[in-house]
Structure 1
Amino acid sequence: MKKLKVAFVGLGNICRERHIPGLMKLPHVEIIGVINRTEPSSKKVAQEYKIPHVYSTWIELVNDPEVDIVWIGTWPYLHAPVSISALKAGKHVFCQARMAMNLLEAKQMYETACRTGKVAGLCPVPFGMTYNKTISRMRREGILGEIYFVKVNSFNDFNLEPNKPLHWRKDHRISGQNVLTLGMYIELIHRWFGWTKSVWGSYQIFTPTRNTPEGEIIEIQIPDQVQAQLELDCGAIAQLTISGMSNYPQESVEIHTQYKTLYYDVLEDKLYELPKNGERKIIIPQEEDFYDVKNWSVEKDFIEAVSMGKEYHPDFEDGLKYMEVLDAIYKSAHSNQKVSIHSTTL
């Protein structure tokens, strides 16, 4: 089998911790090039991981005929231009989440992937991966019955300190409309329960300006906390509270169904059943349902999608779906009205 040649645009923490080790385990993959934000950084990571070529620009990288796969690990502001250019150049694309700055960019990425027929995937949120097959099986076998209500609580202190310098995740010029863990939980809800058809949303910004490390004052456009109610195609309601204004960290998902109530502790990565009487009991995945997140197969799965035509998720359609919800939350917050989602997928 011909080796697939991969080049990285942006080789940050998750690429070093997950993607590079995952790709290096695969015998038919060769990492041939990299470009980071600065030339010294590019040369440093190239030396560290024995990557033979350092590019001067990402445009040079995506147009290199030797490159089969462009692996994007940058901040969101480059996701659309690099993905679209790479797809048009005939490359397959793996892009770091969150997918894009906004819905318009996500649509352009998705449509380009459809036109070119190349494999275009996103890095999955690890939340819930341990229990994907368990939830699917419980739904398929009727163990849960109808899904009625899903409640997501995501609390941390990321935005709590008003004098904290501007972080890139709060800079709309870099992160676009992406907010804290909001897109991650929308992806999880879609993975477990299906698409969203309408949204009510509101948000708050408590610190209207922040200083960059260089002292520039920036008006904050990314919310400090968000509340959203999603109406899902399956008939359930999902209520999300995402806040960076809490002194008490919590990441949890409650699932209220016809026959059972489940509680997913995200920080522990444990799924529990909450009986009507008595203590909660942990749900252990069946052997055939088990997925080891610490040793995930994301890189292998994507490479097999390229080389063998296997299905890969999340793909750009999955990403577009959560960007549609994110856009609808902003629109609902501005209009104080429910916003219906009209799918733009082909």
Structure 2
Amino acid sequence: MPHNSSKAAEWDGPSSGLREQSSPPPPPPPSSFLPQQQQGAAGFRLHSLLKLRDVRSMDNKFNLMHYLANMATNTNPRLLNLPDEFSHLSKLEQYRTKDIMDQVLEHQKTIRKLASFQQRLERKVEELTKAVEEGVERSAAAASAAAALPPPPPPVSAFPRFNKDRRIELGARSRDQEVARQAFESAAAGEVERLKEEIVNAKIVVEKVEKFIKDAQVRFDDLVDLVEVLDESWRSTAIYFGEKSSTDVIDMVTFPQTSIAGTEDDAAAELFNLHQLQQQQQTVNRMLTGPRKPPEEIFGVIHEFFRHFREAHLQNEDILMRERRQATIAKRYSYPSSPSPAPPAAAAGSSNPTSASSRPPSPFAMAKRSVSRLL
């Protein structure tokens, strides 16, 4: 039957084949709608790679991972070395991003505690220094005041013996006071020296803590820079693999401001704008794939995919070697396809027209003979 371009062909089951349809085909959609319906693919999620093993063949022996490994072997064998190039992923997935961030925050808290301890220690050193200086000043003022006082007048009495005893008593009392004063001054001097020694030690501790805090702050700043680089690079990596959040795509989703308002058909313009908004919303929904997954999860997915890929490739190699071995064995024990010559005439008096020596050996006999040779 000649092909008629004005009629469409429709499939009506396996027995009837194609039958012609008298009704004309539906009109094509507007040209402005075609690119939006055929474009805007957002790709697939990375976890979908692990589902290749779930799509199996009818005999349940092969899956899409075997097909992918076979296609890589036939088209680009260099792809088979990818699992070796990404062998370090097994180590990367051991590090948890949350644990790293917790450690960074803990370091920051420790630096703040040390800075607070340094401030308290500096205030304590200032208080002790001021107290020692005030104590030394008061001791010096008391000593100068005591030295400026005139000595007590000698006792005057009508009885000479009484005057002598009184002078002896006053002398003993003054000596006791002098001893007490010297003991107090020595004790005060010892206390001052002890406080001065504590102040010196505290100043040394303050200097060491200050130096340690400066070094720790420098290293912490470097660590923060590395964390920011990690976050930025991981953000771009997550966007590349399709694992991004709304905050990642808020600055990158831009749509053309196309409008046909002002044409003669306002209803068609409104319908077009509504359809465009729907297409934009669908694109946004495809791009917003939820919160970003941590790096160790993505590294684990890639590592597991490469592990399954390697296993599928090895299984394909085993199947290919088995098929080659079976083909070699079948070729070794196969019979020629050309017809065998007619057997000679049987001897006179023989009951069997075909002798046993002219028959080809059976496959079982040939296999048994091969096994006996090997043994």
Q: State the TM-score, normalized to the length of structure 2.
A: 0.16
Instruction: Give 1 or 2: higher strand fraction.
Output: 1
Larger RCO (alpha carbons 8 Å, 6+ apart): 2
Larger radius of gyration: 2
